[in-house]
A and B are shown apart, each in its own frame.
Chain A
Amino acid sequence: MELIGHLQLGFAAAAGAQNLLACFTGALLGTLIGVLPGLGPVATIALLLPLTYGLPPLTALIMLAGIYYGAQYGGSTTSILLNLPGEASSVVTCRDGHPLAKQGRAGTALAVAALGSFFAGCVGTLFLAACAPLLMRFALDFGPAEYCSLMLFGLSGAVAIASRSLLKSLAMVVLGLLLGLIGTDANSGVARYTFGLRELDDGVGTTVLAVGVFGFAELLHGLEHACRRTPAMRPCGRLWPDRADTRRAVPAVLRGTALGTLLGLLPGAGALLPAFASYALEKACARDPARFGQGAIEGVAGPESANNAAAQTAFIPMLTLGIPSNAIMALMIGALTLHDIQPGPQVIVHDPVLFWGLVASMWIGNAMLLVLNLPLIGLWVRLLATPYRLLYPAILLFCCLGLYALANRTGDLYLAALFGLLGYLLQKSGCETVPLLLGFVLGPLFEEHLRRALLLARGDASVFLQRPLSLALLLAALALILGALSPTARRARRQLATEPV
């Protein structure tokens, strides 16, 4: 009952004209930058931060939050239509979303993504409202040993989702790991693989790699086929999923939401991990995993729900403990600090209007996004009718703008161009680039937590087996590997390998 009272307080605060406007502006802006590849929420929020100094704290926070979860919605659009992920977290959506678009079912894929995101957003918000303080204990109990095992689980999954060659997939993960090692080692302070370039001291940016390997490479790939009409040009088809799609998508949305809600709680797990973990889960649950990568609706529904649920629950560590779980949350803490609010456990108690107002605004924002996105689907698809000579330079321009805005460095643009070439060559040689990105993101986290866990255990490696959560994750990783090696999975891959791409 206390919850209802709190929510009433929140809705009363969030439903004010100024806050509604902020919510709408944020959500719309978020959708737009989510759609534009390369231009991500981090750069946008960083640019807009000074503008929010003049706003009341709740209004500022509502707008910034809107940009953040709006981007999770928008990111799927270009993934599905153009095979260009608008956000790093929607990389996974490309795998099945784009094949669906090629089959002329872009409308269904986009609608499922939007509906799944909406459901996940609502559940994530409810979770945030109902048990934020309780959930914090879970997040705090998750120590370096657990993180290390979680990353190992993720890395095994990256190999296991291979739809064609296991060996190529493994090679891609390892290449990703190696790229992830570039930069200053936190333990010794030594710069690794930087070739004396100071720009590489902090490593390669995830956005730089993602825009290069996915965005630029796809543009190169598209240019090659530009003379032919692309399959995505087919009519977008019906919007609402038919019965067969619904039967497949609903459980995927539920599983994705649950997974995203939990993983979103963990500081540092990022937005890619929930989406990708959900994809791996769907593939493991499916009766015929061979459909994945060929346009399985579950492969869109699960990850999209997971990343949106995670986007909502990522606020829990920030609001209850003042721990930012990603770069965006760090910026929000910056915004709050400027308004003399120290994010921490006391925010809920001392500033209930702020906390519950934000929670309520997320609900309103998610509903707005759904209303905004469903009619927009037709528009986005029509956008594809733009001739490539106009569309491609425009995408290229936005990619470059976004990349430059990250750190005001031109070097990042050259690096992304280089990765574009690499991605193109990999695509040509039949290597999937999703495992590459996963290895790149998860590998350094794995190393960091492995070393930290061993340091804190004073060198006792059995710590990974003694902690129950860590042990469970290690066993799950083992199961993933064994599953991928099983004769059934092998047969499915062989069958696919003989089919034309």
Chain B
Amino acid sequence: MFRRLTALSMMLMMLTTLVPVPAGAQAGEYPQRPVTLIVTLPAGGPTDAAARTLATALSQALGQPFVVENRPGADGAIGARAVVEAAPDGYTLLFSVGSLVALPHLQSPPPFDALRDLAPVAAIGSYPFALFVHPSVPAANVAEFIEYARSRPEPLFYSASTPGEALAATAFMQATGVPLTRVPYKGSSQALPDLLAGRVQLTFGPVATGLPHVREGLLNALAVLTPKRLPALPDTATLEEAGIRGVTVPSWQAMLAPAGTPPAILDQLASATAAALETAPVRERLTKLLLQIELLPPAALAQRIEADDALWQRHFAATAAARQP
């Protein structure tokens, strides 16, 4: 038995020497061993897919495997905590989404400080959101929708399964003065049946979830929440075209590192990510996932996080005030 194992390990060792070592993997340089990329969402979802696409590209570019590890739980706080507490040596990185910045405002005690505990590396883009309504709502555009919603004796129902969706709906109500009632869900898969059956009339949801139903006429897309129209929904106006500003879902997908990671490593990762986003296979795969590619280098991502933090703070202050009798 033991002899067989030794033979097996010998063979494995021989195999490893056959693997070509890419340029740039010399001694003393980062990375010298596999890098763990912690994803705060479960395997199989859109964020996981984006993270794995990036991980594959970085493995090729930097000569060490970037291993995706899914650490879902507590809206992402568990994965984020694991990275915040990890050694800031560049071997434990975080891949997360815009709602990460909301967690310190949502959970008490705050699991981490979004501005201080994490060093931004790069954002690769964001998943777009849109306003979807059930066909029983007689409105072809946002103006008609607002008019209809106002004419009803009772507020319409909207489904919200993430803080981001609730944020968009609250901002919409503030911008238009239309009253809406929130129906909370644990995930978009639970919200979808009620939306398709018309028990809930609208949602500010991810385009990837709503698009197949729009194509079948089971839902109508009244507006997209992006600055520009989407190739997937060319006939749907943006909310800004309809004259409504400030309704967004911070849905960027980004890589971050523990605070204190050497700037040289951060720069190396950021430039490797930027280079990966220029390659055709990466662009193609991300586009397939309906991700809107937009590179945010470290400084721009830091600015975005700061702006989002202020946005969430206003949002939660407003909802808390609304709950007071």
Contacts and interface: CB of A to CB of B under 8 A. Distances in A.
Interface in B160-217: 181, 183-186, 189-190, 192-194, 196-197, 199-200, 208-209, 211-213, 215-216
B309 interface: no
Nearest to A143: B199
B288 interface: yes
B192 A407 contact: no
Given A331-B43, A337-B46, A407 B196 contact: no
A346 B216 contact: yes
A322 B48 contact: no
A331 B212 contact: no
Identify the interface centre among A47, A268, A338, A340: most chain B CB within 10 Å of its CB.
A338
A267 B212 contact: no
Contacts of B81: 198
Contacts of A407: 70-73
Contacts of B28: none
Given A139-B193, A268-B190, A456-B157, A49 B106 contact: no
Given A46-B70, A50-B52, A342 B78 contact: no
Interface string A423-463: 00000000000000000000000001000100110100000
B325 interface: no
A143 B195 CA distance: 10
Interface string B71-86: 1111101100100000
B193 A323 contact: yes
A238 interface: no
Given A337-B49, A345-B213, A187 B70 contact: no
A188 B196 CA distance: 24
Interface in A325-376: 330-331, 333-335, 337-338, 340, 342-346
Contacts of B213: 321-322, 344-345
A338 B44 CA distance: 9
Interface in B22-60: 42-46, 48-49, 52
A486 interface: no
Interface residues of B, number: 48
A343 B212 contact: yes
B278 interface: no
Contact of B74 (A143, A198, A322, A340): A198
A143 B289 contact: no
B43 A46 contact: yes
A47 B285 CA distance: 20
Given A322-B213, A330-B189, A198 B199 contact: no
A182 to B, nearest CB: 13
Interface string B59-102: 00000000001111111011001000000000000000000000
Interface string B210-230: 011101101000000000000
B89 to A, nearest CB: 20
Contacts of A46: 42-44, 70
B69 A408 contact: yes
A141 interface: yes
A247 interface: no
A466 to B, nearest CB: 14
Contacts of B49: 334, 337-338
B189 to A, nearest CB: 5
Contacts of A346: 212, 215-216
A324 interface: yes
A186 B218 contact: no
B44 A330 contact: yes
A406 B218 CA distance: 35
B78 A198 contact: yes
A189 B106 contact: yes
A372 to B, nearest CB: 27
Contact of B288 (A189, A202, A340, A409): A340
B186 A448 contact: yes
B73 A409 contact: yes
Nearest to B72: A407
Contacts of B181: 455
B111 interface: yes
B218 A345 contact: yes
Given A198-B81, A344-B212, A334 B184 contact: no
Contact of A334 (B45, B74, B193, B197): B45
A201 B109 CA distance: 13
A455 B183 contact: yes
A360 B132 CA distance: 35
A140 B211 CA distance: 18
B232 to A, nearest CB: 10
Contacts of B197: 140-141, 143
The 6 closest A-B pairs by CB, nearest first: A344-B212, A334-B44, A201-B74, A331-B44, A46-B43, A342-B212
Interface of B: 42-46, 48-49, 52, 69-75, 77-78, 81, 106-107, 111, 154, 157, 181, 183-186, 189-190, 192-194, 196-197, 199-200, 208-209, 211-213, 215-216, 218, 285, 288-289
21 contacts: A50-B52, A139-B193, A140-B197, A142-B193, A184-B74, A186-B186, A198-B74, A201-B77, A268-B190, A322-B212, A324-B189, A330-B44, A331-B43, A333-B44, A334-B44, A335-B44, A344-B213, A345-B216, A407-B72, A408-B70, A409-B73
Given A202-B73, A344-B212, A346-B216, 11 more contacts: A45-B44, A46-B43, A49-B44, A186-B184, A201-B75, A201-B77, A321-B193, A322-B209, A331-B44, A337-B208, A409-B71
